[in-house]
């Protein structure tokens, strides 16, 4: 790893929603990350941005709709960047996501989770911050093996709670 390259951390939609709702675990995790990695960049992969935009208009509950809108309005204030373009291109990342689904690393119904994981790897993120149980259940060794075929490294998948418990001082 290039020591001068920024350390990249991807966030999932559930983290964005929880941040907008001022969830203590997410607030503490982001505080811990910023303290321990002051030069890191917090990214939202394209699929996460799309999910948040959809939730802002179509979520069933007003609380979730309002939280998605709030996050999209304030993401820069919280230090997040919405990523629109992928360095490998969307078609190639879609191919990676399909490979992850074919390898049964995620249930076939979790195509967006596969995209988020593929996008996070394609962006060079070393951590994917999520509370999603499907993503949390991914076998890290198998993920690394599948992504190595695309010359990508697997991001560590961690919850905000794990970040706080393991790295808070």
**Residue 69 covered by a domain:** yes
**Residue 38 covered by a domain:** yes
* The model's pTM: 0.93
**Residue 138 covered by a domain:** yes
**Residue 2 covered by a domain:** no
**Residue 3 covered by a domain:** no
**pLDDT band, residue 1 (cuts 50/70/90):** very low
**Residue 48 covered by a domain:** yes
For residue 168, pLDDT over 80 is answered with no
Where is 70: in which H helix or E strand? Answer: helix 62-74
How does pLDDT run across 81-118, given as a tens digit for each residue? Answer: 999 989 889 999 999 999 999 999 999 999 999 999 99
**Residue 64 covered by a domain:** yes
- Give the domain extent around 71: 8-167
DSSP state of 40: -
Name the region of 87 (left: φ>0; alpha: ψ -120 to 50; beta: rest).
alpha
CA distances to 51, 104, 112, 134 from 109, rounded to whole Å, are 15, 11, 8, 10
- What mean pLDDT is predicted for residues 114-134? 97
How does pLDDT run across 55-87, given as a tens digit for each residue? Answer: 999 999 999 999 999 999 999 999 999 999 898
Q: Residue 149 has which token pair?
A: 């075929």
How many domains does the chain fold into?
1
Cβ partners under 8 Å of residue 6, min gap 6: 39, 40, 41
CATH of the domain at 155: 3.40.50.1010
């Amino acid at each position: 790893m290039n020591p001068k390259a920024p350390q990249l951390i991807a966030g999932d939609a559930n983290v964005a929603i929880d941040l907008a709702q001022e969830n203590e675990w997410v607030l503490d995790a982001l505080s811990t990350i910023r303290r321990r990695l002051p030069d890191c960049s917090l990214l939202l992969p394209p699929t996460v941005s799309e999910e948040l935009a959809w939730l802002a208009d179509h979520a069933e509950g007003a609380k979730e709709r309002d939280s998605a809108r709030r996050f999209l309005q304030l993401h820069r204030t919280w230090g997040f960047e919405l990523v629109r373009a992928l360095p490998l291109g969307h078609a190639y990342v879609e191919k990676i996501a399909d490979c992850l689904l074919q390898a049964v690393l995620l249930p076939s119904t979790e195509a967006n989770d596969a995209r988020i994981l593929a996008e996070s790897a394609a962006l060079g993120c070393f951590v994917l911050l999520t509370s999603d149980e499907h993503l949390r259940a991914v076998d890290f060794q198998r993920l690394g093996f599948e992504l190595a075929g695309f010359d990508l490294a697997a991001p560590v998948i961690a919850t905000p709670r794990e970040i706080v418990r393991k790295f808070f001082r």
